[in-house]
Chains A and B, each alone.
Chain A
Amino acid sequence: MMRSKTAAAPFALWMTLFTVIPLGIVLWFAFTDEQGQFTLSNLSSIGEYAGTFGLSIFLGAIATVICLVLAFPLAFTISRAKGRKQQTMVMIIMLPMWMNFLLRTYAWMSLLENNGFINQFLRVIGVLADGQSVSLINTNGAIVLGMVYNFLPFMVLPLYSVMVKIDNSVIEAAQDLGSNVFQVFGRVVLPLSLPGMLSGITMVFVPAVSTFVITKLLGGSKTLMIGDAIETMFIGQGANYHVGATLSLVLMVLILVCMAITGMVDKEGEGDAA
């Protein structure tokens, strides 16, 4: 016991310094005014951000669902591939993650712009007339695209790591006992992949909801997500740490609620399958 406590000490120190204390500071800012007096006025001013919160959760949820739908068959295919092929496929999934996040998002900008690659291409092949363009950038669609592109590996990898442990003979046993493809999926693969699904959803949804870079670069100035709202509270002229801290806090609570709901749905699903 002593040994494991000693070993955990650096971690405990780290957590205290960089998680517990900062969280305390956020709390302190959220419930005080400029004079350092306790107040709930920050919290009551959050109401005007309801739309922003709603949009963030909406776009984050759509991106998460798209990631899940794309990642599930992909991860399953990778998990069934053989040795070297499997390693190569995992590499290819991880490859974009080794490139800078900003760079990747800028790349999408140059693809989606009104004079970007896609519009130019459409003009060349004659789908669009000269001077015409399809508005791709600065839309909610572009934001979701950016989220899916950037966060897809975070869905694929946890799913893959769970699926790779599913023994092929278990799938064969399900077929042997009379399950068609859909029954094998619903009664064996899906329930056995649930832990990976849950951590994948968390790893995509949380950064997607709170992103501000993707919104800024691909969503233009008109779409404001909660990440952008928080950013403006800490940087520039209208900065207000107290409102910013409150927004962060509310976002955290909302995400926790969303995760709790996901967890409950998953548990029910498990009960169904069993």
Chain B
Amino acid sequence: MQTTKEIIKLKDITVSSDGEQVLSGLDLNISDGEFVTLLGPSGCGKTTTLRIIGGFVTPDSGSVFFDGKDMAKLPPYKRPVNTIFQRYALFPHLNVQDNVAFGMRVQGKKKTEIRETVDRMLKLVNLVGFNERRIDTLSGGQQQRVAIARALANNPRVLLLDEPLAALDLKLRKDMQAELKNIQKSLGITFIYVTHDQEEALSMSDTVVVMDAGRIQQIGTPQDIYNEPKNAFVADFIGESNILDGIMHEDYLVEFFGRKFPCLDTGFDKDEPVDVVIRPEDIDIVPANQGHLTGTVTAVTFKGVHFETIVDFKGFKWMIQTTDYYPVDSIIGIVLNPEDIHIMKKSEYSDMFGDYSSYSDEFDELGNPEVDLTEDTAAEVEE
């Protein structure tokens, strides 16, 4: 399916602003036709990375290659990429078709060609008949579509998308995710997509680039990222994770909570301290006397598909997702199969995540889209 031809290469990019390191030594290769998502919390440098590719931020050091050619000196208007901005940035003085035609007019394309392309683009984004509409009469979703049509009308090799769906409500966001993915597939152009929404990243991307603190934490397919997180940050940011301290005695054998478990991981030193990740949905609950470990239920939340059950194991609280209901204070046992256990090397993120003792606070923070939006805007202004 995918061509492996490299279209964009970022090499050793470093950016700082007001004495703060925004990106440090970032390397990234992007293949032609790929849907790549830069995923991370606000302030991780994902938007800056996108703006470097677009030409709006000049890195302090490092180089940007497009098709093997250095783009460092190219101003934004000469780059073969187009951007969909966070708040669409449509031209308020132009109607829908003039917005879409803007890039072609600047390039001096023929009138007939412009008209044809505008109609084709409006059809692509389901806005047939909206040609003469003023921008301020459109809904958020419609403005988003105009922004997509306007960027694609320029026939870019690479489309940069900066949190394009952040301002839309959940239902519309889901629809637009599917639509964007379809557009990307049918046109076969490279999408570089920035988001802080891990679900969005997992469901749309060919490749996910997880970023934090100006560094790439992991690059991989959505499955890789989810199933084989490289460190505690990735494990925690993508989905829910219980992260425990363990000791890797030998290949395929790890010890935690004073008990040895068989696992599938190899390649660690003898008795190396490690982080152990156990996903909440992988844990099987059994009667207390049959479990590998025994714990007490401290909280239960009904989530529709499953119950989110917080269980106290010797003072360390785990999250378990189960379709069965276990009331608070019931004592349960759990069974961990080798494929449920994932071992990671210790990192700077060890011990920062993975304990659900302060679960509710964390959820509030992650569940509030307002927080991310305003912080991102602030970051944008600073740049």
Do A and B form a real pair?
A: yes
Nearest A residue (CB) for B102 = A177
A167-209, CB < 8 A from B? 167, 169-170, 172-180, 183, 187-188, 191-192
Asked whether, in the complex, the Cβ of A172 is within 8 Å of the Cβ of B93, the reply is no
Q: A175-B76, A176-B82, A180-B77 are in contact. Are A187 and B102 (CB under 8 A)?
A: yes
Nearest B residue (CB) for A166 = B92
Asked whether, in the complex, the Cβ of B91 is within 8 Å of the Cβ of A183, the reply is no
- A172 to B151: give the CA distance in the assembly, Å: 12
A176 contact from B83, B92, B95, B105, Cβ within 8 A: B83
B91 contact from A82, A175, A180, A188, Cβ within 8 A: A188
Query: Number of B interface residues, CB 8 Å?
Result: 30
Q: Does A129 contact B (CB under 8 A)?
A: no
Query: CB-CB < 8 A to A274: which residues of B?
Result: 93-95, 98
- A179 to B76: give the CA distance in the assembly, Å: 9
Q: A179-B106, A187-B106, A270-B93 are in contact. Are A169 and B77 (CB under 8 A)?
A: no
B106 contact from A169, A170, A177, A270, Cβ within 8 A: A177
Q: A172-B56, A187-B102 are in contact. Are A178 and B107 (CB under 8 A)?
A: yes
Query: CB-CB < 8 A to B381: which residues of A?
Result: 82
Asked whether, in the complex, the Cβ of A174 is within 8 Å of the Cβ of B102, the reply is yes
- A274 to B107: give the CA distance in the assembly, Å: 15
B164-208, CB < 8 A from A? none
Question: B191 → chain A, closest Cβ, in Å?
Answer: 15
Asked whether, in the complex, the Cβ of A172 is within 8 Å of the Cβ of B82, the reply is no
Binary per-residue interface labels of chain B (73-103) against chain A in the complex, 1 for a CB within 8 Å, 0 otherwise: 0011110011101110111111100100011
Q: Does B9 contact A (CB under 8 A)?
A: no
Question: Which of B54, B78, B85, B87 has the most chain A CB atoms closer than 10 A to its own CB?
Answer: B85
Query: CB-CB < 8 A to A170: which residues of B?
Result: 89-92
Q: Does B298 contact A (CB under 8 A)?
A: no
Question: B104 → chain A, closest Cβ, in Å?
Answer: 9
Query: CB-CB < 8 A to B105: which residues of A?
Result: 187
Query: CB-CB < 8 A to B56: which residues of A?
Result: 172, 175
Query: CB-CB < 8 A to B81: which residues of A?
Result: 176
9 chain-A/chain-B pairs, Cβ below 8 angstroms: A169-B86, A170-B90, A170-B92, A175-B55, A177-B103, A178-B78, A178-B103, A187-B105, A270-B93
Q: Which residues of A contact B (CB under 8 A)?
A: 82, 167, 169-170, 172-180, 183, 187-188, 191-192, 270, 273-274
**With A167-B87, A172-B54, A172-B85 already in contact, 5 other A-B pairs whose C-beta atoms are closer than 8 Å:** A175-B55, A177-B77, A177-B106, A177-B154, A274-B98
